[in-house]
């Protein structure tokens, strides 16, 4: 596994498989900011729902989102206090100043779908560790078995009027396809595409 390097700091908890390479780069808007979305796969070209890892970087090169839709992990989920410690340590390693302002909200048990190379879907169980930030955003780290991180997301805003996510979801294939008019529009709580 190859750890990410973000703003000159090695992120040992956020890794790419050694055989993955960058297959796509997009520039889009997220929360009114121009962001760069990178997609990594074992081989190209980029294919929706293929095993992949997506990264979203802000204009200042901070990591906004890490999504691992490539790997499954077996075994029991970590204890909630362990998942919280992993989440806090992850945000601290990425951006200590931002992390210092996070306020823990809750931990939910959830799952995410991962597709293998043949298209077979597997649900990955995880603990979704959610935080609030004084900027009004929600932030989270999702931790699966063996303490592996499946997601990191920061600066995600909520549309209270419509009871759904406000922030664009460039890191999720179904949302991207819907945004391009190539798939069904997601229901709430997903963001409008």
Quick: pLDDT tens for 126-156: 999 999 999 999 999 999 999 999 999 999 9
CB 172 within 8 A of CB 189: no
d(CA 148, CA 77): 10
Rg (CA), the chain: 16
Q: Using one digit for the tens of pLDDT, what is the confidence trace for 86-114?
A: 999 999 999 999 999 999 999 999 999 88
pLDDT reported for residue 72:
85
Q: Alpha-carbon distance 24 to 8, whole Å?
A: 22
Residue 119 pLDDT > 90, yes or no? Answer: no
- Provide mean pLDDT across the span 164-181: 95
Q: Considering the chain, what is the average pLDDT of its residues?
A: 95
Round to whole Å and give the CA distance between 138 and 161.
16
Average pLDDT score over residue span 57-72? 95
The pTM for the full model equals: 0.95
Q: List, in order, residues 6 or more apart from 88 with CB less than 8 Å away.
A: 99, 102
| Residue 40, pLDDT above cutoff 90 | yes
Residue with tokens 């931002």: 98
> How far are the Cα atoms of 39, 53, 115 from residue 46, in angstroms, in the given order?
7, 11, 14
- The domain spans of the chain are 2-179
DSSP string, 138-153: EEEEEE-GGG-EEEEE
Say whether pLDDT at 62 is over 90: yes
């Amino acid at each position: 596994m190859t750890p990410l390097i973000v703003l000159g700091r090695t992120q040992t908890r956020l890794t790419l498989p050694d055989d993955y390479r960058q297959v796509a780069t997009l520039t889009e808007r997220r929360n009114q900011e121009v962001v760069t979305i990178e997609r990594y796969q074992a081989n190209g070209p980029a294919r929706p729902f293929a095993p992949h890892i997506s990264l979203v970087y802000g204009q200042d090169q901070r990591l906004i989102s890490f999504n691992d839709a490539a790997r499954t992990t077996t075994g029991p989920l970590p204890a909630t206090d362990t998942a919280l410690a992993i989440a806090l340590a992850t945000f601290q390693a990425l951006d200590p100043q931002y992390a210092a302002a996070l306020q823990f909200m809750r931990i939910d048990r959830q799952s995410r779908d991962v597709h293998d190379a043949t298209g077979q879907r597997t649900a990955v169980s995880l603990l979704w560790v959610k935080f609030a930030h004084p900027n009004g955003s929600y932030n989270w780290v999702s931790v699966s078995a063996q303490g592996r991180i499946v997601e990191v997301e920061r600066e995600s805003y909520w549309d209270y009027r419509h009871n759904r996510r406000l922030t664009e979801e460039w890191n999720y294939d179904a949302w991207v396809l819907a945004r391009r008019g190539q798939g069904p529009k997601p229901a709430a709580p997903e963001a409008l595409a």
